[in-house]
Structure 1
Amino acid sequence: MLNRRRIAGLLAGLAAPVAHAGTASAQPFRPPPPLRLEPPPGRPPGPRLVWQPGHWVWTRRDYVWVPGQWVRARRGGWRHGHWDDRPRGRVWVPGGWR
């Protein structure tokens, strides 16, 4: 199982340009693979922790799966990354807390 430090390293090394919510980059359209069913592994390990589901991150070349993890709850809920139609073409909008 990947720990938070390993996940952070993965994101920094592979997807730093698009890992931040609100960042969009123009890319040729290619839909992400189907989401993986990744239920929480048991009960939360602490108070105010919620399960952040695993999600796909676009690395400018391919999609990389980032496993789910327990994180502090934030307002707005989690939204998975998706391609969005814009006037200049489709752009990848990364997943994140909104």
Structure 2
Amino acid sequence: MKKFLPTLILAAALLPAASSFAQVVVRVGPPAPIVERRPVAPGPGFVWIDGYHRWDGARYVWVPGRWDRPPRPHARWVPHRWEHRHDGWVLVEGHWR
């Protein structure tokens, strides 16, 4: 039991990291982005995050843009993007840099 518990804890800690490496390859390229009208910012310091198409397993679905606060000063949003790979298209998630 003493050896099993640390192994279990390590496996539980690595599970979220392993799932972030899973990529879905889509054979059909994404549609053109939808041009959205930005509503007024809810307050100072908010950054607009553009919408993007995500794959729901059968088709592309538009995820609308939104206002968000950076997690730290001088953080910059890197938008979601679809990259063409040799076997199809892969979504690279947006993130703060």
Q: TM-score, normalised by structure 1?
A: 0.59
Matched, 1:25 2:4: no
Query: What is the CA–CA distance in structure 2 between the aligned matches of 1:40 and 1:49, rounded to whole Å?
Result: 12
SS of residue matched to 1:41: coil
Aligned 8 A contact 1:23 1:93 in 2: no
Query: What is the CA–CA distance in structure 2 between the aligned matches of 1:21 and 1:71, rounded to whole Å?
Result: 22
> Mind listing any 5+ residue stretches in structure 2 that lack a counterpart?
1-18
Given residue 46 of structure 1, which amino acid in structure 2 is its aligned partner? G
Q: Which residue of 2 aligns with 1:85?
A: 85
Query: What is the CA–CA distance in structure 2 between the aligned matches of 1:22 and 1:52, rounded to whole Å?
Result: 23
SS of residue matched to 2:48: strand
Q: Which residue of 2 aligns with 1:41?
A: 39
Percent of residue pairs bearing the same amino acid type: 28
Which structure would you say has the larger RCO, counting Cα contacts within 8 Å and 6 or more residues apart?
A: 1
Alpha-carbon shift at residue 22 of structure 1 (Å): 6.0
Where does 1:70-81 land on structure 2 (aligned, <5 Å)?
70-73=67-70, 75-81=75-81
- The alignment's C-alpha RMSD in Å is 2.6
